[in-house]
């Protein structure tokens, strides 16, 4: 991001973010002083790309973007920044912090990365989508969620593109904007931004979403439907994922979850040789023919009604057939705002026979960006790409007949016996029953029961009263088959319980090595203050717990990470003469020349504490030999 500046968590000053080391700096300095309250932080990165939401009136009363003004003005808004708390904990130029009320369980701490130059959404290109995807990739491990502030005109295109580009996504990404600038009277931007921040910090929704008005919608299902209404976006063929009224009500059964055993990554390439062709009365053959010429490789065809073409236009069908034979992928979607294409009518069947494939109920934005994504996959042949366009990759389409979800049949049966009937009562009952039954199935190592519960509508990432999921329990138990089953069912590896523990935390603290490996494979990572991780490793080193140190090493922890006194695990192992721990740390590259706050090295502590064996291992002659051996094995 050579042109972007970020308001850092450490000192809040803008700087040019040119390398990953800057984000490592963020991680190591992310705590300020430790919070004295028993409230967890929800860390959110805001990518401010431009758009109406951040504009300011100039001297002529006209809305204009103004560089480096957004964060400065946010700091003056008490709804957007708890200045007293933030100054005390982080300093006056630290991150922004939302105020809290009595019911909040998470303190929302957010940083704003402002793009330069700020981009009007009508000027957005595929390069901007790639830039956003790369910024999320670079920052992914350091934040719980992401909010993208974006102009409204092309917001649905960006949301759709990112939904495909961000593969195996395990955290929420929300795009929002406004019809009126956030700093103006009667703005919709304030509610849109605040709600997006709260949802991004608190809720387990691993999708690219759009928030507008009161609705959180799947990004690749949205369209802009109004140039003037505050309810500017709609999801015509799919219900909202959540509604933000007095309470945020999430439909967890509607959430699309990645069920692949791989970690998050960004596909930072798109095929630009794609286009939209809308059929209209008396469209000419020459126009269609010209549109289908090289370099075009993919076309979204917007036909009438349920996918119909004029039956008397064999000339157009001929051109479409010739194009598909040349390898051009043509996807048929309806011009209608709701509904889907079908081949039940003869005109639709003519298109199918010509090699045109169905786009089902995809929006134009989703169909176009999916085509750009699919065509960028060089490892897929043409037939595979055609199949992928008709496959539900990110919840963007409903293929054929909608799946029959046994909507809480099990809960309904219990509800009838308890004489419960309201929607709220049913939801509450489900939130109690399903986590209990999922956790019981995990404890009994019953994979068949887990699969049956999912068929009944259970969300495998649903939390119990302590915020723990079935995956947390499975990682404590260490049953690799159960862990693998839950991950294949879409269990989220990033959920934190009320004690700020993720499934990876549990796997580490029970030393389940194979479980740690598969969690990392699926994108899990260490979270929270690096100093606290260092503190935990120092505790393990103090008692010579090599198994625990190995667990942290497998989880990609820095074995030379310092605690709050500046001591590393090697310092502590040397101090207490834990010889096996010293040997393990030296063998795995721990720094011997690290100095604590009293300017002592591990060797100095060993000598002063008369830890003879540790001192011998750490003597300059021995450690130089170890360093040479370590270098030779690299």
Residues acting as catalytic residues: 52
Q: How far apart are CA 44 and CA 109, in angstroms?
A: 6
Residue 154's closest CA among 190, 126, 116? 126
Burial of residue 338 (CB within 10 Å: 0-12, 13-18, 19+) is: exposed
> What 3-state DSSP class applies to 276?
strand
Cβ atoms 602, 541 nearer than 8 A:
no
Q: What are phi and psi of 287, to 5 degrees?
A: -65, -45
SS3 453: helix
* Cα distance between residue 255 and residue 462, in whole Å: 12
> Is the separation of the CB atoms in 274 and 367 below 8 Å?
no
Q: What are phi and psi of 133, to 5 degrees?
A: -60, -40
Alpha carbon distance 550, 559 (integer Å): 10
Q: What are the start-end ranges of the E strands in 237-368?
A: 242-244, 248-250, 265-266, 274-278, 298-303, 329-334, 357-358
DSSP 43-63: EEEEEE--SGGG-EE-TTS-E
Burial 18-54 (b: 16+ CB within 10 A, else e): eeeebbebbbbebbbeeeeeeebbbbbbbbbbbbbbb
Overall size of the chain counted in residues: 634
CB distance 61 to 187 below 8 Å: no
Q: Where are the alpha helices (DSSP H) in 360-492?
A: 364-375, 382-389, 409-418, 423-443, 447-455, 470-477, 480-488
Contact residues for 67 (Cβ-Cβ < 8 A; gap 6+): 114, 116, 117, 118
Put residue 118 in one of left, alpha, beta given phi > 0 → left and psi -120 to 50 → alpha.
beta
10 Å CB burial of residue 64 (0-12, 13-18, 19+) is exposed
Nearest Cα to 389, choosing from 338, 324, 336?
Answer: 324
Closest CA to 527 of 97, 145, 103, 113: 145
Q: How far, CA to CA in Å, does 30 sit from each of 22, 98, 200, 353, 484?
A: 12, 16, 18, 59, 32
């Amino acid at each position: 991001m050579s042109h972007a500046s970020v308001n850092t968590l450490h000192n809040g000053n803008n700087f040019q973010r040119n390398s990953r080391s800057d984000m490592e700096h963020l991680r190591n300095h992310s705590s300020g002083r430790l919070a004295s309250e028993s409230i967890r932080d929800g860390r959110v990165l805001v990518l401010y790309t431009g758009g109406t939401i951040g504009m300011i009136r100039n001297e002529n009363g006209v809305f204009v973007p103004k560089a480096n003004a957004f964060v400065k003005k946010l700091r003056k808004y008490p709804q957007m920044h708890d200045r007293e708390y933030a100054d005390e904990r982080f300093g006056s130029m630290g991150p922004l912090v939302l105020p809290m009320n009595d019911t909040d369980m998470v303190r929302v701490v957010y940083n704003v990365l402002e793009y330069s130059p700020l981009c009007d959404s009508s000027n957005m290109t595929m390069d901007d989508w790639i830039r956003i995807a790369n910024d999320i990739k670079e920052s992914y491990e350091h934040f719980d969620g992401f909010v993208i502030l974006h102009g409204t005109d092309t917001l649905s295109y960006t949301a759709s593109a990112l939904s495909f580009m961000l593969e195996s996504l395990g955290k929420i990404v929300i795009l929002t904007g406004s019809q009126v600038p956030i700093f103006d009277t009667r703005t919709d931007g304030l509610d849109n931004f605040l709600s997006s921040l709260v949802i991004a910090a608190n809720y387990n929704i691993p999708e690219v979403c759009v928030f507008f008005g009161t609705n959180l919608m799947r990004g690749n299902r949205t369209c802009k439907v109004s140039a003037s209404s505050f309810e500017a976006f709609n999801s015509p063929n799919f219900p909202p994922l959540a509604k933000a009224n007095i309470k945020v009500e999430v439909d967890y059964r509607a959430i699309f979850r990645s069920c692949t055993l791989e970690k998050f990554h960004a596909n930072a390439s798109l095929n630009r040789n794609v286009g939209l062709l809308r059929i209209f009365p008396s469209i000419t053959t020459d126009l269609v023919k010209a549109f289908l010429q090289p370099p075009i490789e993919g076309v979204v065809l917007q036909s009438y009604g349920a996918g119909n073409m004029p039956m008397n236009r064999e000339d157009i069908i001929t051109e479409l057939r010739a194009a598909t034979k040349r390898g051009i992928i043509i996807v048929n979607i309806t011009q209608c705002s709701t509904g889907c294409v079908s081949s039940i009518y003869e005109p639709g069947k003519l298109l199918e026979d010509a090699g045109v494939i169905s786009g089902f109920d995809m929006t134009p934005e989703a169909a176009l960006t999916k085509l750009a994504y699919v065509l960028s996959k060089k490892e897929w042949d043409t037939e595979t790409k055609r199949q992928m366009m008709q496959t539900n990759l990110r919840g963007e389409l409903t293929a054929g007949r909608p799946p029959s979800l046994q909507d809480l049949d099990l809960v309904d049966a219990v509800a009838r016996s308890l004489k419960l009937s309201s929607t709220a009562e049913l939801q509450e009952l489900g939130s109690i029953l399903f986590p209990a039954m999922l956790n019981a199935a995990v404890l009994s190592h019953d994979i068949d029961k887990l699969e049956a519960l999912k068929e009944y509508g259970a969300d495998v990432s649903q939390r119990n009263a302590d915020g723990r999921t079935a995956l947390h329990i499975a990682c404590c138990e260490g049953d690799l088959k159960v862990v693998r089953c839950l991950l294949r069912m879409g269990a989220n590896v990033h959920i934190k319980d009320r004690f700020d523990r993720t499934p990876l935390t549990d796997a580490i603290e029970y030393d389940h090595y194979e479980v740690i490996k598969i969690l990392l494979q699926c994108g899990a990572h260490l979270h929270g203050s690096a100093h606290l991780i260092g503190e935990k490793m120092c505790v393990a080193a103090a008692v010579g717990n090599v198994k625990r140190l190995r667990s942290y090493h497998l989880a990609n922890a820095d074995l030379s990470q310092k605690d709050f006194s500046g001591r590393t695990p090697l310092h502590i192992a040397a101090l207490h003469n834990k010889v096996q721990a010293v040997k393990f740390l030296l063998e795995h590259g721990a720094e011997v020349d690290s100095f604590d706050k009293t300017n002592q090295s591990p060797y100095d502590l060993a000598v002063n504490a008369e830890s003879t064996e540790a001192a011998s291992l750490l003597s300059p002659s021995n450690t130089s030999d170890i360093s040479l051996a370590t270098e030779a094995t690299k």
